[in-house]
Structure 1
Amino acid sequence: MATPSHTTPFEPLSSDSLTPWLSISQPILQWWMEQSVKGVQPLINVQLAWLESVSSAMQMEIEFCQAIAESNEKISHCLLINQSSPKSVQEITDCYQQAMQGLRNAQYDRFNKVTKLSQDFRKVLWEEI
């Protein structure tokens, strides 16, 4: 990111307006202010990368919660459809296993995405350092 062309170095504070302890430490304060300005952009970039990572993690959790809801819907549908006729244990077991397979796949996808997210965040972090 380009720095503005009107940027100028910090001007020293006038020593007559400073308290004695501040005037003594003025060179250190001056150095700290210069370093702060130089170091702000990488810090902002790291914070943005972190916020993007958190946003992606939240999106993945929402997708997983949706998969949980769909699995519960499948199980409920299996148990509630044709309530008047009794269901065999095998039918209920098959229905449950299908719902759990979908949930298992969603969990596997979730782990893969989280691993990739962690690697992407580390890459961005190292680029800024």
Structure 2
Amino acid sequence: MQFDDLYKEIIQDHYRQPRNRQSLTSEELGAVLDNPSCGDRVALRIEWDDEKKISSIHFDGEGCSISMASASMMTELLWGKTREEARETALKIHRIFRGEDPLEDLEPFGDIVSLQGLVQYPVRLKCATLAWQTLDLLLKEETS
């Protein structure tokens, strides 16, 4: 099996069996972003424990396999992280996807490495980063 095929399987697995996906009521939503060019939408909710670590992170939304898989991967990766760790992770992912840091830097981020091929497709990259942009929005709103 080639790496590209393995990456496609990882993306499809997260799309078909998303981790931490949950229907969220309007009262539960922390942040919501839409991608008007394709109709993708990601909603995100985070709860923090007494140690200021993520004790619960869920997403809801609709969209293509890439945007939903990326949201699933993101929530799996961030569970248990502090606000600062989550912010640093998001900044690093953004830098990699913008080409500011090398693609090899995705390797420590688990299944997210499967999205590396999207760097050459800017339209698809918007799908992959929608959940991360929603996280950015949520973290900014919580600190303001």
The answer to whether TM tops 0.5 is no
Please tell me whether Structure 1 or Structure 2 has the larger radius of gyration of its CA atoms.
1
Name whichever structure is richer in helix by fraction.
1
- TM-score bucket (shorter structure): under 0.3
TM-score (norm 1): 0.27
TM-score (norm 2): 0.25
Specify which structure has the bigger relative contact order, considering alpha-carbon pairs within 8 angstroms and separated by 6 or more residues: 1
